[in-house]
Amino acid sequence: MLELKGVTKRFGGVQAVNGLDISVAENEIFGLIGPNGSGKSTTVNLICGIYPVTAGEIVFNGKNLAGLPPHKRLRAGIARTFQNIRLFPNLTVWQNLLVARNSMEDVHSQSFLARWLGETRHTRGEIESILEFSDLADKADDLASNLAFGEQRRLELARAAAAKPRLLLLDEPAAGMNREEVQDLIHRVRGLRDSGITILLVEHVMQLVMNVTDRICVINFGQKIAQGTPDEIQNHSAVQEAYFGTTAGDPD
Amino acid sequence: MEDFWIEAIELTQSVIDGLLFGSTYALIGIGFTLIFGAMHKLNMTYAAASIAGAYVGLVVFVFFSAHPLLVFAVSSLASGLIGLLVYLICFRFIPVNNHLAALMATVGALFFIDEVIIHITNASPLAFPALFGAASFDLGAVWIRGDLLFVFAASVASTAALLYVLYRTRLGLATRAVSQQNVAAQLCGIDVHRTNATTFVVAGLLGGIAGAMTAASVGVLSPLLTLPITVKGLIVTVVGGLGSIPGAIIAGLMVGAAENVFLYLRGVNERDIYVLLLLFVFLVFRPNGIFGKSINRD
């Protein structure tokens, strides 16, 4: 459903992503890993439209995304979370979810009056179920900035889910989490996939990557160096060298 | 002893008049603060656009003898439209990180609007219609001017309408989301450019009302009004804290009252010197304003 064909991104003289080919299948959990600075986050930013590609194309559901601004990519079905948490700090948990939910197509087809007045009973029901799924039901009226770190991470994921995406980009969702929190995250990511969402996971934390992904692509210096199942990747020599050899001790 | 009471009553009268008129400063301050919240940049054109809006309202008055209420409405709409133009010219296509370019563009637009007004009116002041100019309410020792009461009521109504839109509607939620985290807002499906443009229009609508009120209170409309309103707007924004709407409201009333107290104590020639000193007092001792907090964005 998502295809990157020869995607290249240059920032001035720096080649962040170089001729990257990736193909993510419907309802797959696809891992994208690589050392720091290998171009993972840039790839996510290219897919969700924060930067334009220098060369190559990104095709989503048979549609070339070139020139489509980020807010339209969300409406096309691509949502994401951020490595460094980017919640709306002075909105409540509920409002954070409502902002994302308000972007949905069905909202845009509502009458002017209904849109002006905001949330409908249907929307409320959906947000309540997302809060339930994210274990944030009792925090609905708290400001996002007052949440604990783990709760903020869950809200990031919940907000992305609230937009009911077909493709969810997770940019290092386990960063800074302890083992139990990662275990909890594994269940949530699987739950999202079971609800029909395709997931592209960019991650350093091997506990998460090796446990949830169907396939993994390893990149270094913006280029693909290996691709395969988690088992294949763990035993791949080029990966050992480029990735585990250099950053095995780095918990990030 | 009798002198003391007379002075106390006159001072009270000054404070009341100042608080009532200060509501227009509050509106201007809210406009500055709204735009700062959305763009994290100052829009120096704002007060000039408000006065320009009032001029458009005056056109309706002079050529169609429209009712003053309609004049206020036209002023507001015109100022909203000018706000949109200012956004398109000074912000939309200037790189987000180039703060200086946007600031200079708005300063340029301020002078440009001023020059256009001076050119069209030959720099001569024009009479502006007031509502309830003759009415007054006697409260015993002090009294309340009808025109100032109207100004105050209109400001309160405009502010209430703004707060309703900002805190109770989908548009307001999107506006607040953009001002707090604009990258995430885009990736939550919000068209940031359109939301920002809307913010400029809404701020412009408020500014036009404030511009028309100022002209109505003074009795004339003149290009000389743009400078003092710009300055008062900036002072209110600094005193209230950039990005804080409650701050702008309180600071607007405070500056209005302080201005009249200085006027009473030191006379019209010295008044603005002390008002300007307020700016520096706050910049040095409370740079984040009376509430010490502004809308943040990383």
How much is the pTM? 0.89
Q: What is the pLDDT along chain B (298 residues), one digit of tens a residue?
A: 678 888 889 899 999 999 999 999 999 999 999 999 889 999 999 999 999 999 999 999 999 988 989 999 999 999 999 999 999 999 999 988 888 999 999 999 999 999 999 999 998 999 998 877 777 888 777 888 888 899 999 999 999 999 999 998 888 999 999 999 999 999 999 999 999 999 999 999 999 999 999 999 888 999 999 999 999 999 999 999 988 899 999 999 999 999 999 999 988 888 889 989 988 998 888 888 887 654 443 3
Q: Tell if the CB–CB gap between B188 and A163 is shorter than 8 Å.
A: yes
Domain total for chain A? 2
Nearest to residue B256, comparing CAs of B16, B19, B11?
A: B19
For chain B, give every domain's residue range.
2-130+142-285
Asked if the B2-130+142-285 domain carries CATH number 1.10.3470, the reply is: yes
Asked whether the beta carbons of residue A103 and residue B189 sit closer than 8 angstroms, the reply is: yes
Question: Are A208 and A169 found together in one domain?
Answer: yes
- Are A32 and A142 members of one domain? no
Expressed as residue numbers, the domain containing A22 is 1-77+165-179+187-240
- Give how far B282 is from chain A: nearest CA, Å: 25
Distance (Å, whole) CA A125 – CA A119: 10
The CA distance from B176 to B195, in Å, is 10
Distance CA B257, CA B23 (A): 10
Prediction ipTM score: 0.87
Among all residues of chain A, which has the CA nearest to that of B171? Answer: A116
| A173 within domain boundaries | yes
- The reply to whether residue B173 touches residue A91, judged by beta carbons under 8 angstroms, is yes
Q: Which two tokens stand for residue A145?
A: 């900035």
A170 and A60 both lie in a single domain = yes
Give residues with Cβ within 8 angstroms of A152, minimum separation 6. A85, A87, A144
Q: What CATH number does the domain containing A37 carry?
A: 3.40.50.300
B92 close contact with A: CB closer than 8 A: no
How many contacts, defined by CB atoms under 8 Å, are there between A and B?
78
**Residue in chain A nearest B194 by alpha carbon:** A71
Nearest CA of chain A to the CA of B287: how many Å? 21
Cα distance between residue B131 and residue B216, in whole Å: 8
Whether B168 has its CB under 8 Å from any CB of chain A: the answer is yes
Give contacts of B186 with chain A, Cβ < 8 Å. Answer: 50, 69-71
Q: Which of B168, B170, B189 sits opposite A71 (nearest CB)?
A: B189
Cβ distance B181 to A87 less than 8 Å, yes or no, reads: yes
Q: Looking at beta carbons, which residues of chain B come within 8 Å of A80? A: 187
Helix (H) / strand (E) containing A31: strand A29-33
Q: Residue A31 forms beta bridges with which residues?
A: A201, A216
Residue A67 lies in a domain: yes
